[in-house]
Structure 1
Amino acid sequence: MTMTPEQVTLARNALAGMKAVSVATPQPHSAESLSELLERNDIHNASINLQTLTATGFSRAGIKAIGDLAKTFRPATGQNSHKASNATLSKFIAGEVISRWQTSSVSSLTAADFDGLHAAIDEWFAQQTAVRQHVVPCTLFPPPIDSFTVGPVTFYHLHDFPTESFGISRDEFWPKPLPPLKRWARGMWAALRGKRVIDPKPGGFQFAQLIDMAIQRHAPWMAFVEVPGRAKEESIAAADLATDIALAAVQLISPGADMRGIARATGRAAPVWRADVSREAGGGLSTGAQNRLPALARAPELIAAHIASARPLLDSMGRRLSAYLAATSPLPDLDEAWCNAAYWYHEALAESLDTVAVAKLETAIEVLFRAESMSGSKQRLLDSFDAIFGLTGSDQVNPPHPVTVEQLVVAITTARSRVLHGTWPTLHNDLPTAKGKPAVTYGDVEFLTRMLLVQFSLQIDAYLNAGKTEDATEALIAWIKAERLAAQAVANALPGAV
């Protein structure tokens, strides 16, 4: 293919910004001196040629041109936008410009040069087709239960690690300790040679560090994630995000404060143990310790039975995640909105401050509805109550308290806005309440967010099964309401209906 005029201009500007400087010196460079040399010469993203002892990189203007050129190959609606980030593609283009045009001038470039760079970029994208299987350690349930799946993510307990998937035997993954006599003989031989005995580590060479991390972080569950068509760095990042969303799905079907701590070991996770020591003035020491492992009081049989009973919900949410990760969704905006909202929900549950948690939960709702403002979020919430539950703004919810749907919605949207804009304090034990407005608690907002996420996933499935293709929140909500009213009309027409 041929570059567009815009791409040709950007490629020329990239070459114009390419610069080289000698790094030959009687004394070895330290990291600081080399950095100072490159900065002084306005050279960034440099590569070092050890044969010629030169550093070649780009000026700030050249870096910008490369970044802008990369964007032209990654339109937001195209598949390439999922295969690699702009930073990853820019790094590749920079390397190609250096290797192809290092001895060229801007005026000497021909159409063949630009076509060659275009072909190299196309070929690089074409190579990003592999499906990588990632292993992501997680803190989940303490007891081992059978593996279970959420879309493209399958959770295995470490002791059930499917070694065959990675071409190693179980004995290699879990090597048996040496018999005492052989261990003694090895110890004597090692002592004579002045060395020490090193026991075989679980996981073989490739998995030892992963297992060490899993043990250190109390993360005995391995999330297997298949990520299609990404560059390596983007594939790792996508596996992490997919794991977070799958964990959010588990939290959505398993309400309770004891499930707030499930997390990816490489992500944001609170320690599972806490020890406290304090002393009152003139008094004695007060000590205490807590085991904060998630689901610690839940029996493995109960956990397994609950996951089995919630399988339809996990399957539904797994479809949202699979479609988003593979970029094959027939409703990409709706599926992406659901996945974004699930991620915010998972992040909210990790917060220790109710003020911050509620702000993130309300953000999850706004993302789910693709609301662009506080007023937009309020209206979408009112519309969802009307569509899904047939409740108008003046209808009461939570019967023990005189709270209407509209009052609840206003309280939730106001809480986020006031906290994020500094009108209400963040570092506070209690969630602030607007004067004259009903109180809203973390539990209220979490329940509402969870209800909306679960219902929306199920409704997207029904929407697709009905053959609907309009990829917009407004269309989905309108369809849900129409279906509810139609079902209600049929029910009212039945003999004996009141």
Structure 2
Amino acid sequence: MHVGVRYPPLVRVRHTERKALNTSKTYSREIGLLRTLAIHLERRPLPFERLTQAALRREGLGHVRETAAGVIAIRMPGHHALTELTDCVLDQIPGLERGAIYADIEAELFNFIESYVDREPSSIGTVDAEALLARLTNWFTARATPRRVFVPCLISRTPAPRFEIGPVTFEFSDRITTSDFYPQGRGDGIFDRRGFDDLVRWMRDEKADWLARVDVAGCEQKRAEEIAELAVDLVIVGLQLAAPYLDTRTMARLGARRGTSQKRTLSEANGYFSSGWARKEPGMTIGQGTLPEIMRQAAPIFTAVGNVVRSFATGSLRLAVLEQAWCDAAYWFHQGLTESIDSIAITKLETALEVLVRAESSKGSERRMFEILGAFFGLEPDDPIAPGSTLTARQFARNVVRDRSRILHGTWSTLNMRGIDRAGMEGFVSTVLRTAVIELEAYTHLAQRPDDIDHFLDWVGRRRATSL
């Protein structure tokens, strides 16, 4: 068992800056950290009491691992060295930062340094640093194999043909066991089919009628599953952007926060009871043939979303800043749609806008909001936000930034807010994300395409102005 004290984390140097700090092959940073760990490593007998955060603090220990022979502990003066050494490893081994869970890397690093208990620190040199990197490289290489991850989803109850959005393929439940999703091998394949059958049975019990398959390479299992699930969330956003009025709001992975398939209410007043019932399953208005028609009519959206999600899932982003920003914003939008409390939903929707434009501050958020309104809608700050509205673009931008800040900082009550136009904000954010991803797809094909939000918004504004 591996236990670590939860102390306030160090302010980490950004990844690109860390790269610049450690480009030589002298490994001076790694050697220094290994020596620090050797000084503060110790072996103890197994304690009589359970290891808790309070016990670790009382004993002045940071990280602790229990073994059959006792406890390997890092005393607090060396507590941060393990984290810094993990960052060094991330800098040196290609693909590791994307392809493995941070805690697993740190745990494997702990395995390596166990032998440094009672080691003379001055004896640690370049050979040890090279052995460390070789150990972690081999560990990662053995685990970073191509995988196909299967993710049950709630899309609709109506059968429809298989469809693909970027790296994600969806198959309806009735065809899973006869499709190429299902293990067909003999012999040991019976164990594979047993796991698959259990998954299909779970889907049937939970009324999840779609199974997504995502190809993920260069990742160990847990990280591959995490990336696949996020990729499914993002392509579902494509459906939510393409058909917002066809019960797409609650489309989700089966394992995500989704609530129940129905809602029942009961109340009593003056001795009389009033009950209510409503279905909450996604895609209830998607009938026979509707889903393929959505895919056909909104093909530009699905092409654009699919390509951005493919960039995310493969780790090969065409535009690292802009594509990652769109994916982050789309995830916030997805979470905002499923949120039951309007004030929190508004906060998530407004966060989606801030993440999309990489606002960085309230002042920057307001400025970027003006840029969105100008680039995507052709509005000047003093123009009405909509025909006949008394609200100007300037006021709208300020209100968006103000509302989110007041909710997050407690100026406005989360549970007793008034005057929230949730539907309006959902529509606005949906339009922005839809327009942004389509324009981003065109932007990626330019010969000169700075990976910068200001350049992108300026290009979108000029492009849309000339098309009017």
Q: Same fold (TM over 0.5)?
A: yes
The letter of the residue matching 2:254 is: A
Matches within 5 A, 1:67-146: 67-75=83-91, 79-98=95-114, 100-102=115-117, 104-146=119-161
Q: Distance in 1 between matches of 2:50 and 2:441?
A: 59
Deviations 1:430-471 (A, max 9, x none): 445xxxxxxxx1122111111111111111121122222310
For 2:33, the equivalent position in structure 1 comes to 10
The letter of the residue matching 2:157 is: P
Quote the offset at 1:106 in angstroms.
Answer: 2.6
Q: Distance in 1 between matches of 2:432 and 2:54?
A: 56
Compared CA separation, residues 63 and 140, structure 1 to 2 (3 A): farther
Compared CA separation, residues 384 and 111, structure 1 to 2 (3 A): closer
**Normalised by the size of structure 2, how large is the TM-score?**
0.85
Residue of structure 1 aligned with 2:219, choices 217, 226, 230? 230
**Normalised by the size of structure 1, how large is the TM-score?**
0.80
| 1:303 maps onto 2:291 in alignment | yes
| 1:321 maps onto 2:337 in alignment | no
Quote the offset at 1:66 in angstroms.
Answer: 1.4
Q: Distance in 2 between matches of 1:266 and 1:449?
A: 25
Q: Distance in 2 between matches of 1:123 and 1:478?
A: 46
For 1:493, the equivalent position in structure 2 comes to none
* Residue aligned with 2:289, SS: helix
The letter of the residue matching 1:48 is: T
The letter of the residue matching 2:273 is: L
* Residue aligned with 2:415, SS: coil
Q: In 2, are the aligned partners of 1:43 and 1:56 still within 8 Å (CA)?
A: no
Compared CA separation, residues 14 and 392, structure 1 to 2 (3 A): same
For 1:409, the equivalent position in structure 2 comes to 397
For 1:435, the equivalent position in structure 2 comes to none
Q: Distance in 2 between matches of 1:60 and 1:481?
A: 54
The letter of the residue matching 2:90 is: R
Residue of structure 2 aligned with 1:336, choices 301, 324, 328? 324
Quote the offset at 1:140 in angstroms.
Answer: 1.5
* Residue aligned with 2:131, SS: helix
The letter of the residue matching 1:55 is: V
Q: Distance in 1 between matches of 2:238 and 2:180?
A: 28
Compared CA separation, residues 63 and 484, structure 1 to 2 (3 A): same
Quote the offset at 1:385 in angstroms.
Answer: 2.4
Quote the offset at 1:365 in angstroms.
Answer: 0.5
* Residue aligned with 2:90, SS: coil
Compared CA separation, residues 415 and 234, structure 1 to 2 (3 A): same
For 2:452, the equivalent position in structure 1 comes to 472
For 2:8, the equivalent position in structure 1 comes to none
Quote the offset at 1:393 in angstroms.
Answer: 1.8
Quote the offset at 1:401 in angstroms.
Answer: 3.1
Compared CA separation, residues 36 and 332, structure 1 to 2 (3 A): closer
The letter of the residue matching 2:234 is: I
The letter of the residue matching 1:326 is: T
Q: Distance in 1 between matches of 2:197 and 2:72?
A: 38
Q: Distance in 2 between matches of 1:409 and 1:110?
A: 57
Aligned alpha-carbon RMSD (Å): 3.0
Quote the offset at 1:253 in angstroms.
Answer: 1.0
The letter of the residue matching 1:59 is: R
Matches within 5 A, 1:69-468: 69-75=85-91, 79-98=95-114, 100-102=115-117, 104-161=119-176, 163-168=179-184, 204-256=193-245, 258-280=247-269, 282-428=270-416, 430-432=418-420, 441-468=421-448
Q: 5+ residue gaps in structure 2? A: 1-23
Q: Distance in 2 between matches of 1:457 and 1:86?
A: 30
Compared CA separation, residues 484 and 464, structure 1 to 2 (3 A): same
Quote the offset at 1:137 in angstroms.
Answer: 1.3
Compared CA separation, residues 33 and 469, structure 1 to 2 (3 A): same
Quote the offset at 1:369 in angstroms.
Answer: 0.5
Q: Distance in 1 between matches of 2:242 and 2:205?
A: 28
- Identical pairs, percent: 26
More deviation in 147-156 or 57-66?
A: 57-66
Q: In 2, are the aligned partners of 1:19 and 1:43 still within 8 Å (CA)?
A: no
Q: In 2, are the aligned partners of 1:351 and 1:357 still within 8 Å (CA)?
A: yes
Q: Distance in 2 between matches of 1:76 and 1:395?
A: 52
Alignment coverage as a number of residue pairs? 441
Q: Distance in 1 between matches of 2:458 and 2:53?
A: 60
The letter of the residue matching 1:214 is: M
Q: Distance in 2 between matches of 1:394 and 1:422?
A: 30
Compared CA separation, residues 76 and 141, structure 1 to 2 (3 A): farther
Compared CA separation, residues 225 and 431, structure 1 to 2 (3 A): farther
Q: In 2, are the aligned partners of 1:3 and 1:114 still within 8 Å (CA)?
A: no
Deviations 1:167-189 (A, max 9, x none): 3379x99x9xxxxxxxxxxxxxx
More deviation in 466-475 or 34-43?
A: 34-43
Compared CA separation, residues 78 and 115, structure 1 to 2 (3 A): closer
Q: In 2, are the aligned partners of 1:345 and 1:364 still within 8 Å (CA)?
A: yes
Quote the offset at 1:314 in angstroms.
Answer: 0.8
Residue of structure 2 aligned with 1:46, choices 65, 79, 82? 65
Q: Distance in 2 between matches of 1:145 and 1:246?
A: 17
The letter of the residue matching 2:102 is: N
Q: 5+ residue gaps in structure 1? A: 176-201, 433-440, 489-498
Q: In 2, are the aligned partners of 1:48 and 1:55 still within 8 Å (CA)?
A: yes
For 1:179, the equivalent position in structure 2 comes to none
Q: Distance in 1 between matches of 2:387 and 2:44?
A: 75
Q: Distance in 1 between matches of 2:93 and 2:344?
A: 33
For 1:20, the equivalent position in structure 2 comes to 43
More deviation in 33-42 or 316-325?
A: 33-42
* Residue aligned with 2:331, SS: helix
The letter of the residue matching 2:65 is: A
Quote the offset at 1:405 in angstroms.
Answer: 2.3
Q: Distance in 2 between matches of 1:366 and 1:90?
A: 32
Q: Distance in 2 between matches of 1:160 and 1:402?
A: 54
Specify the structure having the higher radius of gyration (Cα). Answer: 1
Deviations 1:268-292 (A, max 9, x none): 1111122222222x41332232221
Quote the offset at 1:422 in angstroms.
Answer: 1.6
